[in-house]
Amino acid sequence: TFFQNFLSSKQENEKPLSENMDAFEKVRAKLETQPQEEYEIINAEIKHGGFVYYQEGCCLVRSKDEEADSDNYEVLFNLEELKLEQPFIDCIRVAPDEKYVAAKIRTEDSESSTCIVVKLSDQPVMEASFPNVSSFEWVKDEEDEDVLFYTFQRNLRCHDVYRATFGDNKRNERFYTEKDPSFFVFLYLTKDSRFLTMNIMSKTTSEVWLIDGLSPWDPPVLIQKRIHGVLYYVEHRDDELYILTNVGEPTEFKLMRTAADTPAIMNWDLFFTMKRNTKVVDLDMFKDHCVLFLKHSNLLYVNVIGLADDSVRSLKLPPWACGFILDTNSDPKNCPFQLCSPIRPPKYYTYKFAEGKLFEETGHEDPITKTSRVLRMEAKSKWHADGRLTKKLNGLADLEACIKTLHDQGFSQPSLTALTAFSAGGVLVGALCNSSPELLRAVTLEAPFLDVLNTMMDTTLPLTLEELEEWGNPSSEEKHKNYIKRYCPYQNIKPQHYPSIHITAYENDERVPLKGIVNYTEKLKEAIAEHAKDTGGGHQVPSIILDIQPGGNHVIEDSHKKITAQIKFLYEELGLDSTSVFDNLKKYLKF
């Protein structure tokens, strides 16, 4: 195994680790005893009526619910008609009366997407297609006509909402445009389909409008005008709005409610409060229950609130669980979800409201990520506020403290420590390589954000204006500029010994421009060369590898080529025997 090779190859050359190595051995043994199952993630699946809609091969298909695991399915659309390179379905939505189905289709090497609308009949046919769609939902008007609302994404920014109808009364019109470039728009249909919510959000502030699911041609109703620093998310049940918000004290998120016809903030009544330092991961609404998915002190919890009697049942989940995968579900009696962890495949659980108990499900061969109707959101906590703008160095201090703790307690040593980061995580890891390079032996970075200062000063880039609340505005605020200079990885490169670094970048990545990564790599190599010259070659010169991949997708799937390149780099830098590593990888990857 990786850990056995790791230990045996270093045993003769490294000083003995502390007695706490026994704890490390216990962790290793636990990992090895976990079932090494193969499983794959299916991109999108949704149940509607008596059918399941999903992707089979290169086709959008549907089958009867009871035949979902068989080969008896109906082909609705062949993705090859779009002439895209390896297309896959990212999201599916079915019209209320199943006259139409809409699907968002993407490719692995691009963030752009196409939404197709297929008319469901004896011979299904594509009715329309819309480019660059982000979120989309169906509603039905007073005359039983299906109306599709969708957001249009331009340069990674979603500012426009459109609505369209099909058939004999075909139309496509712009419904709303957000003028503030620091905000974006996404659509969410409440669990009971009563309202379509138009969510207008920045990093710290939100504003929600209600579109009547029964009268979608009526003007939308504003719940509460945006207030700087106030975030809120909305669900609906029995003519009441349930609002998850950080308004008021304490700043942790709390659940409030109000009548749907009096939605303004002065009418919000406190319904449920969270413990301090609790992160709200998600919320799901049922006929008689509201389910909150929470994280507190690094443990996951499910809180089940009875809406009839305001009872609360809090369930502490297994300590190995690190995250939730929430399931599509229209059954008012059950709340299904999965728990995931780096050390085992996801496990299925179902909370059954009638029994008031959580059950672990068995018999699922392949855990599946499904398109969900659950309100997807990231409830920003005080912890997040303490790590943005002029508090970014707090994150660097936390990362350094974690690594030093692993060293101090004998779990590792600097020459045995590797670190990996993706996207904005590159800021902290790059900063650590500048400030405390002696803590690390090797680093892998993927699509890393490394030139914070120059990026945030270039307002022509797609995400600069949207990210000002996170990083600050160095163009207009001198204190922001000076603070960013203190930690920006590119700005703080200097002649010194660095860990070896493997960087994977993407040629047409719109989120993290390739130019900044190339500039960082060149500057880093120059500093390393200068240091080697000044010290006369006293240190082993670190390897700096820049692997530029084709494509423009910032969220690249875990391809075999990428994984093997990164693993090969780490094994070589840590001095491990990689003879059997690729055979072991085949247990998890289908070459």
| pLDDT band at 305; cut points 50, 70, 90 | very high
Selected residue with higher pLDDT from 476 and 585: 476
More confident residue, 46 or 161: 161
Q: Is the pLDDT of residue 130 over 50?
A: yes
Q: Which of 146, 502, 509, 531 is catalytic?
A: 509
User: Residue 241: which H helix or E strand, with range?
Assistant: strand 240-245
> What integer is the mean pLDDT of 451-463?
91
Mind listing the pLDDT tens digit for each residue in 72-88? 899 999 999 998 888 99
Q: Is the predicted pLDDT of residue 559 greater than 70, yes or no?
A: no
* 531 included as an active-site residue: no
Q: 219-260, pLDDT tens digit by residue?
A: 999 999 999 989 999 999 999 999 999 998 777 789 999 999
pLDDT, tens only, 100-129 = 999 999 887 777 899 999 999 999 999 999
| pLDDT of 555 higher than 80 | no
pLDDT of residue 425: 93
- Residue 436 appears among annotated catalytic residues: no
* End-to-end Cα separation, the chain, in angstroms: 19
Work out the average pLDDT over 147-158. Answer: 92
Q: For residue 208, what pLDDT band results from cuts at 50, 70 and 90?
A: very high
Query: Mind giving me the DSSP string for 525-564?
Result: HHHHHHHHHHHTS-SPPPPEEEEEESS--SS----HHHHH
Pull the structure tokens for residue 396: 């660097």
Confidence of residue 587 (pLDDT cuts 50, 70, 90): low
Higher pLDDT, 150 or 277: 150
Provide the CATH number for the domain formed by 387-557 in this structure.
3.40.50.1820
Query: How high does pLDDT run on average in the chain?
Result: 85
Compute the half-sphere exposure of residue 167: CA atoms within 13 Å on the CB side of its CA.
12
Under the banding of pLDDT at 50, 70 and 90, the label for residue 582 is low
Residue 20 has pLDDT above 50, yes or no: no
Select which of 193, 423, 435, 578 is catalytic. 423
What own/partner pairs with CB < 8 Å and gap ≥ 24 does 67-76 have? 74/124, 75/124, 76/101, 76/118, 76/120, 76/124
Any idea of the CA torsion for 387, 391, 394, 399, to the nearest 10 degrees? 60
Asked if pLDDT for residue 399 goes beyond 50, the answer is yes
pLDDT of the residue at 552: 66
How sure is the predictor about 565, in pLDDT bands with cuts at 50, 70 and 90? Answer: confident
Residue 48: closest CA among 117, 138, 133, 164? 138
Among the listed ranges 45-54, 293-302, 377-386, 559-568, which one has the minimum average pLDDT value?
Answer: 377-386
**pTM of this prediction exceeds 0.85:** no
Would you put residue 419 in left (φ > 0), alpha (ψ -120 to 50) or beta? beta
pLDDT, average across residues 28-39:
45
Coil, strand or helix: which one is 401? helix
pLDDT of residue 286: 92
Q: What's the confidence (pLDDT) of residue 69?
A: 67
Answer whether 36's CB lies under 8 Å from 344's CB. Answer: no
pLDDT at 35: 46
Q: What is the predicted pLDDT for the residue at 371?
A: 41
The pLDDT value recorded for residue 451 is 95
Over residues 131-142, the pLDDT tens digits come to: 999 999 999 998
The dihedral through the CA atoms of 561, 565, 571, 572 has a sign that is: positive
Span of 9-13, 392-396, 454-458 with lowest mean pLDDT: 9-13
Residue 430 confidence (pLDDT):
97
Residue 318 scores a pLDDT above 90 = yes
Q: What is the mean pLDDT of residues 162-171?
A: 93
- What is the tens place of the pLDDT at every residue in 323-370? 888 876 667 889 999 998 877 788 999 999 999 999 988 755 443 334
Give the whole-angstrom CA distance, residue 352 versus residue 398: 39
Between these two residues, 120 and 463, which has the higher pLDDT value? 120
* % of the chain residues with pLDDT over 70: 83
* Catalytic annotation, pick one of 48, 159, 236, 554: 554
User: Looking at the predicted structure, is the pLDDT value of residue 383 above 80?
Assistant: no
Is 18 among the catalytic positions? no
Confidence of residue 537 (pLDDT cuts 50, 70, 90): low
Query: Coil, strand or helix: which one is 565?
Result: helix
pLDDT at position 386 is 80
* Alpha-carbon gap, residue 361 to 366, rounded angstroms: 12
Q: How much is the pLDDT for 26?
A: 52
For the beta sheet containing 269-273, the strands, ordered from the edge strand earlier in sequence to the opposite edge, are: 232-237, 240-245, 254-259, 269-273
What's the pLDDT score for residue 377?
47
Separation between Cα atoms, residue 5 and residue 567, nearest integer Å: 13
The one-character DSSP state at 229 is: T
d(CA 514, CA 551): 11
Is the pLDDT score of 13 beyond 60?
A: no
Q: What is the DSSP letter of 416?
A: G
